[in-house]
């Protein structure tokens, strides 16, 4: 198994690598598309802005290789921005920067509400829509995960939504899943036992 941790020049690479190490997985940190040969799993974490992330991926020649491998069914784990860039566009950028476009939909900002703190930061419960799916095994009906974000994806295809979280007036897609994709707005690598269980489930089901 060759697990590739995509390095686009920003993001919490070390903490994600440590979380994978705890599962006995030694990821290969890759910033050059030429090193993607033999990849069995893609992991793309991220902190920062949607536009900056896509710009850096473009600069490193990673956008088309990522699209191709995801479309071909290479298992993909997206965290935070690694989740958001799967969609077409984001309200975070005014330049109309395109995401990977794997799924139709737009990344939205939380509505301004009196007393609501943005970014959404801290622990929140997550309600899986398909709790009996293998990805959510061992997590119970309402696990808690750690968030740090001001934006969240709004998928056009409701069927890919795997779990939801409510913050203020917004109930948003906390995670999506397909047979080969698991992507989440929260940070599994910062979510202690629940996060480790989710990571373990992903790699066990896609090995």
Torsion angles phi and psi, residue 97, rounded to 5 = -65, 130
Q: How far from chain centre, in Å, is Cα 118?
A: 19
Q: Where are the beta strands (DSSP E) in the chain?
A: 3-6, 28-30, 41-44, 76-79, 89-90, 105-109, 120-125, 127-128, 144-149, 151-155, 161-167, 170-177, 181-184
CA angle 93, 99, 100 (to 5 degrees): 170
Task: Clarify whether 187 is annotated catalytic.
Answer: yes
Q: Quick one: tokens of 203? A: 């790699």
Q: Quick one: tokens of 5? A: 């941790």
Cα 163 to Cα 172: distance, rounded to the nearest angstrom: 9
Which residue(s) pair with 88 in the sheet?
none
Among the listed residues 41, 120, 149, 187, the single catalytic one is: 187
Among the listed residues 41, 80, 92, 149, the single catalytic one is: 80
Task: Clarify whether 189 is annotated catalytic.
Answer: yes
Task: Clarify whether 53 is annotated catalytic.
Answer: no
Cα 163 to Cα 165: distance, rounded to the nearest angstrom: 7
First to last CA, the chain: 8
Among the listed residues 41, 120, 149, 189, the single catalytic one is: 189
CB of 171 closer than 8 Å to CB of 127: no
Q: What residues are labeled active site?
A: 80, 187, 189
């Amino acid at each position: 198994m060759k697990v590739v941790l995509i390095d686009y020049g920003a993001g919490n690479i070390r903490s994600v690598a440590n979380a994978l190490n705890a599962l006995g997985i030694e990821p290969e940190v890759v910033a050059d598309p030429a090193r993607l040969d033999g990849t069995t799993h893609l992991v793309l974490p991220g902190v920062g802005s949607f536009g900056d992330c896509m710009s850096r991926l473009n600069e490193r020649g990673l956008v088309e290789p990522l699209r191709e491998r995801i479309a071909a069914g290479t298992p993909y784990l997206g965290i935070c921005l690694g989740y958001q860039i799967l969609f077409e566009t984001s309200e975070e950028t005014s330049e109309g920067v395109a995401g990977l476009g794997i799924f139709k939909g737009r990344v939205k900002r939380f509505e301004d509400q009196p007393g609501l703190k943005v970014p959404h930061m801290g622990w929140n419960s997550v309600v899986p829509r398909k709790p009996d799916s293998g990805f959510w095994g061992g997590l119970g009906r309402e696990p808690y995960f750690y968030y740090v974000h001001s934006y969240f994806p709004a998928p056009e295809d409701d069927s890919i939504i795997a779990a939801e979280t409510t913050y203020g007036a917004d109930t948003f897609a906390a995670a999506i899943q397909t047979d080969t994709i698991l992507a989440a707005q929260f940070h599994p690598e910062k979510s202690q036992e629940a996060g480790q269980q989710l990571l373990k489930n992903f790699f066990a089901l896609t090995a």
